[in-house]
């Protein structure tokens, strides 16, 4: 089963997605998600210019060998661009392996270890009342877990607030990033009130999450965690900039609020100390950004040894192919925690036809062989790439801050 072609598609049905398609000499086709939000073309180039020539003629069945060949062969280890490109190849090859076997990928990974994949939805609002009403809307739709975000009084724009019916937190700017303004004191005063109002009005019969999005110092994160303890959070996410693993030692000393981190990680080397020292409770690496199913499974297996559970990143900038790949892994691992699910808005559904569906707060995979997502090239061509940046953040005095 030789690889005869590998093609890269960049399309913008509502937001940008990069898709890798691998074709074999026996007519099988596999898809991988190569989307890296705000840096899409760098992964497309890494694939087209550096990996595609190496893939042609390789045996598509040898997933592990191809992974090692691309990882060790790069010499320049790790990094989001490299690992997203390798991840797309890996998922496309798992898709092909499933199709060759006539089985969904989760069957090849050991079969389902649970009935479905519990997900959390993204509630938000312009203030406490609107945010709580949005959480209630998710609960009414059957969700068992909801993330709550709200505009912070006094700040013009805050991460995580859905604008209108949209599903993006990265507003389009002309030719440079949108600039948000950040005030930690205002945020730290506000979030306990937001969370208290959510629990007061809606109770404790569901999991409640909140994303800090890398904005606090360790002692500020410790204070936030402690202030939220009465409200039994499922987790606070990305409380400090994620590259500083030792920050979590300090946070951990001060609070029993569960901690999650990892959406910007791309290998086990980014989180091995966090896991081995039990500094976090949930590891949020995602299949497309962490070298595909092959490497993300290693991260989760290692985490299981230390009682750390998965909580994979699943924002809308991960395509339905990346989400489906995550679901196959989520369904099989022993230490599944939760899966983020933001969903995708049309016209993404014209380009990606996915077999998974939401019921009772869980995502359920279909029975299609492979990953189970079809990619429509003609539809993709109708939505050409649009240059977009993630926003940046400044403090009120103009200093750059983490977004
Ligand atoms: O800002 O995926 O938990 N979800 C998130 C996301 C991230 C985007 C960045 O590309 O933090 O909304
Ligand atoms: Co996040």
> How far, in Å, from the CA of 378 to the mean position of ligand 2?
32
Rounded to whole angstroms, the Cα distance separating 262 from 370 reads: 26
Please check whether residue 350 is in contact with residue 391, taking contact to mean a CB–CB distance below 8 angstroms: no
Spot the catalytic one: 159, 169, 187, 383: 159
Q: In whole angstroms, what separates CA 171 from the centre of its chain?
A: 19
Q: How many residues does the chain have?
A: 403
What pLDDT is attached to residue 7? 98
Q: Enumerate residues lining ligand 1, CB below 6 A.
A: 37, 169, 211, 213, 263, 313, 315, 317, 340
Rounded to whole angstroms, the Cα distance separating 201 from 231 reads: 12
CA nearest to 118, candidates 94, 142, 98, 102: 142
- 159 catalytic per annotation: yes
Task: Tell me the pTM.
Answer: 0.98
* Element holding 350 (H helix, E strand): helix 348-351
- 213 catalytic per annotation: yes
> How far, in Å, from the CA of 213 to the mean position of ligand 2?
6
- Give the relative orientation of helices 80-101 and 292-305 as an angle to the nearest 10 degrees: 100
Sequential pLDDT tens for the chain (403 residues): 999 999 999 999 999 999 999 999 999 999 999 999 999 999 999 999 999 999 999 999 999 999 999 999 999 999 999 999 999 999 999 999 999 999 999 999 999 999 999 999 999 999 999 999 999 999 999 999 999 999 999 998 889 998 777 778 887 776 899 999 999 999 999 999 999 999 999 999 999 999 999 999 999 999 999 999 999 999 999 999 999 999 999 999 999 999 999 999 999 999 999 999 999 999 999 999 999 999 999 999 999 999 999 999 999 999 999 999 999 999 999 999 999 999 999 999 999 999 999 999 999 999 999 999 999 999 999 999 999 999 999 999 999 999 9
> How far, in Å, from the CA of 315 to the mean position of ligand 1?
6
- Give the relative orientation of helices 184-202 and 128-140 as an angle to the nearest 10 degrees: 40
The domain covering 108-370 belongs, at the CATH homologous superfamily level, to: Enolase-like C-terminal domain (3.20.20.120)
- Give the relative orientation of helices 184-202 and 218-227 as an angle to the nearest 10 degrees: 20
> How far, in Å, from the CA of 238 to the mean position of ligand 2?
6
Atom 12 in ligand 1: residue holding the nearest Cα:
315
Domain ranges of the chain: 3-103, 108-370
Q: Which of 171, 313, 318 to mutate to test the pocket of ligand 1 (most atoms within 8 A of CB)?
A: 313
Q: Which CATH architecture has domain 3-103?
A: 2-Layer Sandwich (3.30)
Please check whether residue 234 is in contact with residue 207, taking contact to mean a CB–CB distance below 8 angstroms: yes
Exposed, middle or buried by CB within 10 Å (0-12, 13-18, 19+), for 48? middle
- Which ligand minimizes its atom distance to the CA of 260? 2
CA nearest to 308, candidates 260, 247, 341, 342: 260
Please check whether residue 125 is in contact with residue 151, taking contact to mean a CB–CB distance below 8 angstroms: yes
Q: Which residues pair with 10 in a beta bridge?
A: 18
* Sequence-separated (6 or more) residues with CB below 8 Å from residue 72: none
Rounded to whole angstroms, the Cα distance separating 172 from 166 reads: 12
Q: Which of 317, 339, 344, 391 to mutate to test the pocket of ligand 1 (most atoms within 8 A of CB)?
A: 317
């Amino acid at each position: 089963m030789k690889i005869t072609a590998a093609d890269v598609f960049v399309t913008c049905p509502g937001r940008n997605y990069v898709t890798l398609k691998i074709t074999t000499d026996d007519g099988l086709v596999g898809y991988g998600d190569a989307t890296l939000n705000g840096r899409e073309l760098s992964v497309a180039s890494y694939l087209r210019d550096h990996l595609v020539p190496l893939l042609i003629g390789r045996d598509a069945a040898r997933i592990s060998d191809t992974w090692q060949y691309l990882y060790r062969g790069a010499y320049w280890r790790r990094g989001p661009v490299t690992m997203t490109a390798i991840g797309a190849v890996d998922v496309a090859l798992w898709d092909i392996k499933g199709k060759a076997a006539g089985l969904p990928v989760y069957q090849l990974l050991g079969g389902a270890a649970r009935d479905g994949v519990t997900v959390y939805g993204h509630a938000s609002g312009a203030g406490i009342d609107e945010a709580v009403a949005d959480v209630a809307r998710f609960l009414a739709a059957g969700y068992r877990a909801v993330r709550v975000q709200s505009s912070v009084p006094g700040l013009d724009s805050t991460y995580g607030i859905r604008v209108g019916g949209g599903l993006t937190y990265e507003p389009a700017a002309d030719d440079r990033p949108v600039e948000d303004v950040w005030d930690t004191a205002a945020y730290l005063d506000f979030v306990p009130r937001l969370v208290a109002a959510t629990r007061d009005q809606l109770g404790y019969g569901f999991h409640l999450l909140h994303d800090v999005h890398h904005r606090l110092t360790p002692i500020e994160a410790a204070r936030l965690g402690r202030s939220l303890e009465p409200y039994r959070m499922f987790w606070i996410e990305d409380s400090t900039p994620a590259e500083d693993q030792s920050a979590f030692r300090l946070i951990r000393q001060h609070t029993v609020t569960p901690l999650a981190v990892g959406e910007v990680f791309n290998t086990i080397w980014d989180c091995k100390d966090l896991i081995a020292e039990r500094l976090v409770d949930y590891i949020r690496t995602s299949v497309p950004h962490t070298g595909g199913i092959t490497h993300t499974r290693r991260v989760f297996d290692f985490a299981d040894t230390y009682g750390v559970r998965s909580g994979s990143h699943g924002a809308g900038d991960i395509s339905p192919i990346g989400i489906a790949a995550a679901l196959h892994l989520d369904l099989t691992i022993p230490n599944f925690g939760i899966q983020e699910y933001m969903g995708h808005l049309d016209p993404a559904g014209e380009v990606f036809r996915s077999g998974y569906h939401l019921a009772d707060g869980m995502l359920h995979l279909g029975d299609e062989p492979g990953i189970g997502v079809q990619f429509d090239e003609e539809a993709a061509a109708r939505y050409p790439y649009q240059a977009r940046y993630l926003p940046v953040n400044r403090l009120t005095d103009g200093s750059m801050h983490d977004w």
